[in-house]
Structures are given as structure tokens and as C-alpha cells.
Structure 1
Amino acid sequence: MLIYSTFRRLDNTMLKLKNPELIQSFIRLCIGGLTYVYITTGIESEYFIASQNTIFYFSLFFFGLSIVNILSILWIPSSTPRRYAMLAFDIGVTTFASFLSGGLNSVYILVYLWIYIGYGSRYGINFLSVAVALTLLSYNVLLLTEDAWHLLSLEAIAFLLIITALPAYLYSMQKRLMKMATQADSKNIAKNEFLHTMAQQVNSPMGGIVGMTDLLNKTELNIQQKQYLQSLSQSSQSLQEIIEDIVDFSRLEKADIPLNHVQINPRILIDGLVHSLAPLGYEKSRELTYYINSSFPNEAYIDAQKFRQLLSNLIRYAIQHSASKSIYIHAYAGTINANENLNANIEIQFQQSTETEPLQPNKMPNTNETLPLRISYQLTRLMNGLFEIQTNENQDVIFNLHFNWEKTRVNYKLNKRIHNNKRILIFDIDKVNLNVLEKYCLQLDMEVYTTSGHDNLIAHILWSQEKAQLFDIIILCEDIKHKHYHDLVNRIRNETLCNAPILYATYMHSIEQIAGKNLEGIQATILKPISLDILTRTLADLLLTRPLELKTPENTLPTLNILIAEDYETNASDAYEHLTNLGHNVDIATDGNTALYAMNKYTYHLVLMDTSMPSLDGIEATKYWRFLERGVKRTPIFALMESATDQTRDLCISAGMDDFFSKPINELQLKDALSKHFTQIDGTVAHNAP
């Protein structure tokens, strides 16, 4: 809170330092100091005839009144009477300095021009007129004191003409500039009206979408449909925020944005916003991870729409300009001040891309691509908050938001009776998300174990079985690369015979991919980024369900000898990994000729044959092998195809192939195919001919 108050005072001080009157006062002090040195040196060298006492009292008067003026500006930043008074003061001291330093021959005669040009351009025609009148009066005083009208009449008249003509030209130029500014304002007003009209036209159908979404939400839906609908609703809100950005951009220029304070739950607001923006992040391979500390309030009296818009702008900017896949949002609360206000803080951390102009700490950039940051900065100030840009030791950019909110009477509480002391194992290769999940489960008073390696996960389960301290739940988190862990689920169920419920954390687009057979062995799914409230309810449901009854297959296949004929190394490696995980012996051939040589030399239960290999493709190799094996036991051959068209299937069947796979293949497909084609009879492998 002390840091927040200090920053607010510094912010107000910086605004005062940007006051043009204050800047002019400092320039006046500098010129006064140089004048004192210049005239004093001239008096000492007897170049000027004035006395030291005169320049001393003159300087004392000048600096004293200048300092009083600065204090007045700090107290009252804007005052028209003070400006007129200082105009008269400037012309008066300039006249006296000219009198002390040579009269009409003094260099300070030129300061007259600087004075009325400065006042006229800064404050307008009224100040320009007064400045010209005072300058003419002061210059005539100098002429009369030196009786110069008789000696230097031509020079005096010429300078008076300059003093009179130059302001007229300056006034004419100001009028042209004002006309151009008025035209620019008119165009800007027209642009703002156009944007406002377009925003209203877009907002009307958006209102229909939001309304129909609300109606649909009242119907009976399953969990998956509710998750879809929630994302649709949140995405609609995000689109409405973009529309509000368009409208507020024009309003910010006029400082005309009203605030509508209502009592909301900021935890739910942040949760919904992050989930609505998560699909945008996935499109760019950026994963949003957020952690809301237990200290963060669940009630606040703020403008919910502006607060959501502010956060949305910053998170969208992070998604667009992040160099790494991880974007981390952290919400927490600080101390409570004497006014019972709570210091609420939100941090958004990401690694900035090198393709964009780097952001500097505590410096607001002024480019087109940083428009969302400028809007967020203005919105934060509007909400009496503080917006900072910082960097850490890893050169990550951190957007820091600080707000003073009234302390609420309701504290955030979790219903953790069911979760208390339950053992949970969490798997995630993303260290940030793994850390957040661990914190959430610790908030539920659970006994938490974490790992990021496949073998380590299996080792944890085996260790728990050995110690008779079984895990109550296992959480598997999908990676941003969209790789589903079917193989890992199979290892958990088959290799360790673990029957603990598995909660699978996935992305919105992946729900359909894990439907049907892929859900085998998984008891529940949860969308990433993970919400604490949804996690709490889902874990409670799983803990209340009966343990999974694992089915032991009646006919367990023995180890098969399998040959993979595939020229593309990645595909061959994937198939090799899947088959060895299932416990089979595997060889690899990189072309048709090598495959025929291996099949002739060794006995295989199955051959997986790529249909498009160099030198000799899989179809021709199969035809040749079927010719060679006439009269002996038939070797099953499965085709590996890039695209399973009817024409390609017909070619494979005519060549003598037994089944087909479209690449890439997964372990579940292989397992189903092997179960379909092979059985064990009296310990012997038998092929079920089609």
C-alpha cells in the first residue's frame, strides 16, 4: 500500500512538472542567472556603468518573485491572472536589464521578441496584444531615457515597425493553424461518429447472439455441451469488448467515459475472461495459465465492463507479441490501509517477441501496435489504479496493475471437506501449469505429488503401490502441441494395474478427439486453463465415485514379431514406439527390397508395409511376396497409406494385403487391429483370416 501511494504521488508530481508555466519558470530562472553573471562581469570590467548594489537588488527581486511564482504554480497549476502578471514582470525586468547593459545597444532588446512570441503562441491573441502593447511602451521608455528619438530616429522607427509587424504575421499564422486544427477536429469527429455508428450496428446482432446463448444455457445440457456453451458465451463477451474498445478510443481522447460501479466477483470475471481468450492463444500456440491467490477478494465494487476490457486488452497484447508459449496471469491482494481499502494486484507476464519494439520499464510506448496498452493505461487511471510495465531478470515483460478496493465482508472459502488429506498425482510437462495445479490442490488440503516424465509417472504409481499408499486421483495434462496421452493411459492401466480415477486436462478443440474409444481409461475431462472452482467440483465428483474395475482380457496375446517397412523415419519411429509399448518385437526396413530380404530371412507374425517407398513400393513388394510364399503359411501384411482412397484400397486388396492404416497411426488403432486379427490358442498365435 505504501508503494502504491508513493507511485500515485510521483505520478501527480510528474503531471505538474509537465505544466508549460512551470517549464517557462525554470527557463526564466536560467536566463536570470546568466543575466546576473553577464551584467556583473560587465560592471567589474567597467564596460557597463551600473553599480554592484543595483544589480544585487535587481537580482534579489527577480529571483524572489520567480520562486514565489513557481510555488504558486505547484499550488494552483492554472491561473490566467498569474500569467498576465508574469507577462508584465518579464517585460519589465527585460527593460531594466537592457537599461543596465547598454540601453538600446543591449542584447536584451531581442528578448522582447522572444517574450511576445512565446506568450502569443502559447496563450493566444489576448496575451499577444498585451505583450505587444507593453513592449511598445517599454521600448519607448528606453528611447526617451536616452533621448534616442533625435539621435537614432531611423533605427528606432525600424525596430518599432518590426515590433508591430511581427505580431501581425504571428497572429495571421495562428489563425491559419487554428483553421487547420478545426478541420482536423471535424474529420476526427466524423471518424469517431462513424466508429460509434458501426459499433452500434455490430452490437445489435451481438446482443442477439448473447441473448440466445443465455436462453440455450437454461436448457438441459450435458457437461461437454455446457463447456462449449460457456466458451461461446465468453467469446461473445470478448467480441463485445473489442466493440467497446472502438467506442472508448474516441471517448478517451475527450476524457468522456463514465464509470458504472457495481458489486461483482472479480475472481469469476478473471476466470471467465481467461477462458474466453484461451482459444485465441491456442491458435498461436500460446498457453494461458493463471493463478488466483486465496488472498484475492471475491467481491469488489468496480466498473466490471471497464475492468474486463482493461485485462482483455493486456492479455490480447501478450498473446500477439509473446515469443514463448507460456503467458502467466497472477492475481493476489496485499495489505489493508487505514481506510479499510484492499490493495489488489494483477500481473501478466510473458516473454516479448524480438520482432516487436521492446517495451521499456515504466515508459508508455506511442505506436500503433501498442494502442491496447495506451487504452489500458487510460482505463487504469480512470479507475484510480496504477499501471506499470516492468521486466525481470529473465527479460520477461510484466504488466503490473494496482488497485485500491473496499475490503469486503465476505472472504473466499473453499469446500474442501471431501478433498482433505486425499493423495493426488499430477503430470504435466509445462512447469508453470504444474506449479499452479500443485498450489490449487494444496489449497484443498490434499497430499500432492508432481512429475513431468512418463517413466517417472509410472514409477510414482508403482512406488505408491509398494508402500500401500495408493493415489486417490491422477491428473494428466495435455500439452499445447496437441499430443494426447493415450499411450500413457494404457501404461497406467495395463502396466501398473492402477484403478485410480484419471482426470484429463485438455483444450477446447481436443474434446472430440478424446471421445469414444479414446476415453477408455479416463473418468473425467477438464478444460485448460484450469479453474480452481471447476477443479474443486470435478475432484469432489471423482472422489465420490467407485474405483474403476479393470477388465483383464481373456485372451492376452503373446509377444509378436513385427516388421515395419517405412522409408520416412518419423513414421517408422512412431510405429516402433507404439508396438514396443504393447510388448512386441519390432524390426524396421526402409524400402521394399530390404523388407523382402528380411521377410525371406526371418519369420514375422505381421508386416506393416508402406504403400509408397523408393525403388520398390509396398504394393509391388506385397505382390512379389505373395508369389514367393505360395504353398506355405501366409504372412499377414497391413498397408500404411497417406490417404485411404477407394482406389488405393482396391490396389492393396488386389496385391494381397489384409488390412489398412491411414498415417499417422496411434497405439489404440494398432491394439484394436492386433486384437481383431490375432488370437491365442493353446499358447500359439493364430491369425484370423479375413
Structure 2
Amino acid sequence: MLFEENIPKNKDQRSIYTKVIFITSWGIVACCIGWMLLAYYLNEPLIALLTGPALLGTIFATIFTAYGMPLLGRTVWSAGGIVAVTLASFTIHEAANPELMYLVLLGGPFLTFAVGRENLQLTIVVAATAISLMAVLLLGNDFFGAPWVGKETAEKYLATGLLFMVFILIAVEMAAFGILAHTNQVKMEASSTQARLASRAKTDFLAAMSHEIRTPMNGVVGMVEILENSKLTTEQSRIVETIRDSSTALLSIIENILDMSRIEAGKLELKLQKTEVLSVFEKSADTLRHFAEAHHVTLLMNYDPDLPKYMSCDSGRLRQIILNLLSNAIKFSKRPPEDPKGQVILTVGFSDKDDLKVEVSDDGIGIGEEFLSSLFDPFEQSAEVRRHEFGGSGLGLAIVSQLIEKLNGSIGVQSQRGQGTTFTVHLPIIDREGQIRCPDLRNKTIAYLKNSDDGVHYFQKPIEKCGGHFKAFDTPADLIAAAQIRNDNVVYIVPFACDDWQNDKASPVFNSRNFPDETKTIFLSPAPHHLAERSEREHIFLPSAPILNSAFSKALERAFNLKAPKPNVDNSEKDEFLANKSDDVGPRILAAEDNDINRVVLESQLAQLGYTPVIVEDGAKAYEAWKLDDFDLILTDCQMPIVDGFELTRKIRDDEEKDGQGRIPIIAITANAVRGEGERCLLAGMDAYMTKPTTLAALKVTLGQHYKKADHTSTEQSEARFKTE
């Protein structure tokens, strides 16, 4: 409908259009009154009649607007103006320059009609104005006969009046434009401020909720780990495993929500550092080994041996990308135990542009073409996913897409419903350095079963680059027959769960008897815990699904008795404190934690790691304990009553500086996982920062890294304290 109101219905938006109508209306009414007075003075009633269409149009426009019909009012206003100017152009001598009034008409529609919402009305009014102007210019003022207002009157009175009227009306239009622009600017600024406040409130709320959830989750995860390290029955182990997987899934959801909040607020920052490329992918795949097994999925890894050893990257975010893509692929490739296993393949190599190309492909349910366009939108899940009840928050792929964009990369997807999915990620290789370590396999042969589904064939290219040879056998019988001839330069890769060897339940003892004692053999198993049973002679067992390059290289070095390179000093130092500590009393750790459950968890974790813990409830008691006794390290929560972790650290550092004491390492353990908290801890004088929930492995590594500092400073600390006392 031409006059259907399609502007926003809210009161503020209607008042803008009402204000425009009233401003322009008063200007036109004033001009019309002026022309009527001039007509009376000159005794030219025609001039007064010419103002009629404009005056009537303005009056009706004001009435319609006042009664809530601004669109109809603006249309009538424009029509009245066009009729009045057209009549004036054909009845007034050209000496008055009546065409100047078209300047007012051309500006009016763009002022009174909203571009985008009222395009039809705007087009009609502009077209009518243009037709009227063209008719006047082409036909001339005298087309309908001699002008009714002569040349003398036009030159002496009307020319100046028309010029003055055009000036006034254009000034009124500019004022209306200014009011509109100012009103919109104020509204935009208010909306922007409101959006910023809402975003900040949401971020603060999510950070607070994350802190509150992480605190009890630390008790859950910590106690589960302690239970896992105790003697449990098979059923108890299964229950503990379920609790662990559920808590990990919950933490993943929390991290995804926080990341999405950071991305929306523009606060997601990257930490580019020297990263061991292949190690990131191996650790990501290894993390999901149990997850893949539980979903009856074979996880395989394929890599290009020409990859650089190091590149500059945010290793944490890269790992997050890979974990998200792999876990999705495994989840959507799940199979019932009685069906053949699903398959997920992680491929790492180079693209045509020599950047890093990562592919994650699966043979799962696939994605419908209609859903591919919205695949990376937050909270979007296809009907297929919802129908199969795979769960998930719908944030994973949205975060992956944003992270890849932050890393100046790109992601693409190819999929067909029921045919699986392939995600392809391209990332720039920055500051490449070194090559992946390659064992010396010259004159060595690796024999394996052809068409096996353990992924051994993916290592053909890396082994050939190391100088080795790859040989495939068609059946287990052929492999066993070849092994009867002794050859110290051949290693046989034996699938532990090969179907042809299942009739005797394929125990390691049974498999080993098929090979002579001197045969170099590496047994593969998709489930590492199945390898606990050992045969009467030593064998090499290698976890598969996936087979990791680092583990495979070490297995080959051991099988061929190759000299392995010296271990990295930094890694070997992590556990040195445990090797050198006394069996009776471990390093003394002072820990400040205000949560009752977390105190129990922390005490148990430290005891399991071989430390002697002293646990207190707040920073004030920790400070007093530090003053009265000697400790090797301090662990502290950040948010505690009375004295928090930051104030505790400042007080200790001030005393150390004043008394000339050695510096004791202080490590923060906090549930606040927002960006910038780590930097705040370091600025306060702490030496490291850990987020809750804290795993035994993470605690072990962090404490091990800082124990040497404690070992060197504890004696100095004691001596300085005795001197001051």
C-alpha cells in the first residue's frame, strides 16, 4: 500500500517525522502568508491563488501527522508543493526565475521520506518533481499562452521575493536535516553506550560465574584424579572415568562461553611464541585417544615429514582449534560396538601456497548443504545433529572460525549428508625453524600388514625420508613366514587386534610365539591399558589409533638399538626434584586456600606428588606462617577474605627486599580464568599462574619448574631470617 505506515512504531521514531513535518510546515505557511500580502498590495489575486495548493497541502499534512498518519501527511505535502511550483512556473513571467523553487522541491523528498523503508514513495515524489521540471524547461513558461503575471511585476517584486523564499525554505530544510542528524547521532551514541555496558556486564557476569563454577569443579577434578591413582575395582574405575569425562565436558563448555564473550568484546588476544608444530597436533590427538575409543572410532594421524620443527604461533589456541575439530569429528562418527569402527583422520602438511594445511576428515553423519552456510554461526546446530542428540553448545565451530581468523588463516568445509565431512584449515607459517627429528633408518626395513586400519601406511613417507624401506604383506601368515628368517635390519609391525588372530583372544603371549625370539617386533594396540599384561620375554608395545610420530620413532630406535639423542634438559629437570628428594620428607609447600574442599584436594595432591604441605585458610595466616617457618614454595589462591593472594605476595616481597632475604617462589592457583589475570599475578610479584581446576600433571610440572629456585633460595632465606632476628 502506498500510504501504509512502514516506519518503526515506537514513539521516539514517530516524533522525528512529526518534528520534520511541523518545522517545514511553519516555514511554508509563513511564505504563503507573505505572498498573499504581496498579492493584496499589488492587486494580483493570481499570486494569492498560486499559494493555494502549497498552503492546503501543508495544512492537510499537519492534520494527518497530528492524527498519527505522518506518511500520508508527507505525501500530501510533497504533492501540494509540486502542484504549486508547476502552476507558478507556467503562469509567472520567466524574469522572476520561478524554476528556483525546484531546488526546494528536490531536497524535500529526501528529507521527509526514509531511504530504505519508503523507497516507493520517495521514487514517486522525486519522479513527479523531475517530470514537472523537465516539462517547464522543454515547453517553456509561455507554452499555455502569455504569463498571467507580467514581466514588470516579475522583475520588480517577484524575483526578489522568490529568491528570498527559496533561501528561507532551504534554510528550514537544512535545519530539519540538522535536527534529524543530531537526533540520530544521540540515539546511536546512546545505543552504543548501552551495548558496551551490556557487553561489559555480560563479560563480568560470565567471568564471575566461571570463577564460582571452577571453585567446586576443582574439588571434583582433584578428587577424581586422587581416586584414579588409588586401588579401584573395574566398575569403580568405569564410574570414576565417567565423572572425569563429564567434568571435562563441563569445563570445555565454560571455556567456550568465555571465549565467545571475549571475541564479542574484542578482548581475545593471541600469544605468539616459538611452537613445536608437530607436538601440538600429537598432543591434541593423544588427548582424544580415549574419547575416540569410547565412541568406537579409529583416530589416525598423517603428517608431512618436511614440516618445520618450530614456527611462531599461539600453541594454546592452535590446540583448541584442533581439539574442537577432532572431538566433533569423533562425536559425529560414533558407531555401535557391533558395527565396524568409524574413522577420523588428522592430516598435517603444506598447501599450494606453502602455508600450513590441516585437514580433519571423518566418515560420520555428514552435513546437509542447506546448513553449510550457517555452520560457523554461534549456537547453530543442524537438524541431523539435534535428531541424533549429539549434544553440545553450538559454540565450538563459531570459536574455531574466529580463532583461525585471528591467526590470519582460513577454514573451509566439504560435506554431504551420510558421506562424512572434511574441514580444511590454512594457517600462515611464520618464522619457520628446523626440521622434525628423523632417526637413522638407512638399510633398515619396516614390515607391516597391507590394508590394516591402524595408520601404519601413513608413515611410509617419513620412514623413506629417514632412509628406511617400507614393505607390505598381504596376510598375517605371510608376515609370520617372513619373520622366520632372521634379519636384524627388519622390524615387524604387528596389529595386536588383527582379526585373523582373534580365535585365541590375541594375547601378547600368543602373538609372540608366532615369531622367533630374535625377531624385532613392535606390537600395536588401540587401547594402551590392554598392554599391561606382558609375555615371558620383553617386547615393544606401541599405542595405535593414533600412532604418534614421536612414539613411533622411539619404538624404532629401541627395536634397532639406535642411539637416541640426549633428552631435552628442560624436560628432564621437571622431575629432578622427585628423584633427589628424601623418601621421608619432601619439599615443604605453604598453601593458602579459603575453600574447605579445595584445601583437602590440594593437600592430597601435594602429598601424592611427594611434597610436605602446610595448608592455611587465608593470606593473613599464610603471611604469619611464612614469617615463623621455612618453606620451599608458596601456593596461594588470589581471592580470599582478610588478605588475598595479591596482598600476601606484596607483603612477602616487601619483607624480602627490606631484610635482604632470598626470593621464595609464589605460585597463584585461582578460579579466575579471564584474560589478563596471569599478567596481574606476575605484576604483583608472583612467579607463575595456574587456573582451577588444577590437575596433578599441571601441578607437577609447574612446581617442578620452580623447585630449583626454591632449593637455591631456601638456605639464603633461613640465614637472612636468623640474622634479622
The TM-score with structure 2 as length reference comes to 0.45
The structure showing larger relative contact order (alpha-carbon pairs under 8 Å, at least 6 residues apart) is 2
Question: TM-score, normalising length from structure 1?
Answer: 0.47
